Amino acid sequence: MSHTAQHSSRSPLPRGLPDALLHDMRSLQEEALRSRDEMVSARQQALAAQARIRELEQQLETMRELVRADQLTGSLNRRGMEEAFARESARAARRGAPLCLALLDLDDFKRLNDNYGHAAGDAALAHLVRVARGTLRPMDVICRFGGEEFAILLPDTPLEHGLRAIDRLRQELARCALAHGADMLTLRFSGGVAQCGAGEALVAALERADAALYRAKRAGKDQVAIAA
């Protein structure tokens, strides 16, 4: 460092002081400058560490979302549904609000796969989710529960309104044909709707909705039944 640079970074010392005292004072000034530089460096490192932590937290949240999502349709998977049910049932209990759970199963899905191939089957599943998102409310939760079966949570929804919402979805899906090559495929589903009781476990609500779903299947398909 040049003589000019040294004087620009520290205060001039009084003249006439003993050499030893001058040396000590210069040492103190230099130590203070080093401490300041170290503090600036430490602060920069802390800010960089905080930015890295935020980045890792965002990556972790993205991974959590992927774990909860069905990769084919973009809806929740079974694990995501379990978390959503726990959250919504607790919220319903706090507010004394109704909560409905619906199960849907695409009718004649095996025949669709056999006639048009598995790519058409996959497209049909994704199409159902797109139509559901466009028909249901943003607050409603859609989950691919397995194969061609879907579960839908309807918060703040009594049983009669839940039945109407799922039947409206059934009609909209039949109206919105799926283009597959030169063919237009009409998709239909059977459904069962249950209103969740206070403190009712997910497995119990699913069993009731499933019983209603298969009652709709036995009655001729392409319809929605209410759970007991």
Average pLDDT over residues 110-122: 96
Q: Is the pLDDT of residue 96 over 90?
A: yes
Share of the chain above pLDDT 70, in %: 85
User: Per residue in 129-143, pLDDT tens?
Assistant: 999 999 999 999 999
Type of residue at 43: R
In the chain, the N- to C-terminal Cα span, in Å, equals 87
Q: Is the pLDDT of residue 104 over 90?
A: yes
Taking alpha carbons only, the member of 82, 92, 96 closest to residue 201 is 82
Average pLDDT over residues 166-190: 97
Decide which of 6 and 165 is more confident: 165
For residue 67, what pLDDT is reported?
Answer: 73
C-alpha–C-alpha distance, residues 75 and 68, integer Å: 9
Q: Where exactly are the structural domains of the chain?
A: 1-68, 78-226
DSSP state of 76: B
Give the residue numbers marked as catalytic. Answer: 148
User: Per residue in 30-54, pLDDT tens?
Assistant: 888 888 888 888 788 878 777 776 7
Class of domain 78-226: alpha beta
Neighbours of 204 (CB within 10 A): 13
Taking alpha carbons only, the member of 122, 222, 137, 224 closest to residue 178 is 122
Average pLDDT over residues 175-195: 97
CB 46 within 8 A of CB 38: no
Q: Is the pLDDT of residue 157 over 50?
A: yes
C-alpha–C-alpha distance, residues 184 and 178, integer Å: 5
Please state which of the ranges 25-29, 56-60, 94-98, 186-190 shows the lowest mean pLDDT: 56-60
For residue 30, what pLDDT is reported?
Answer: 81
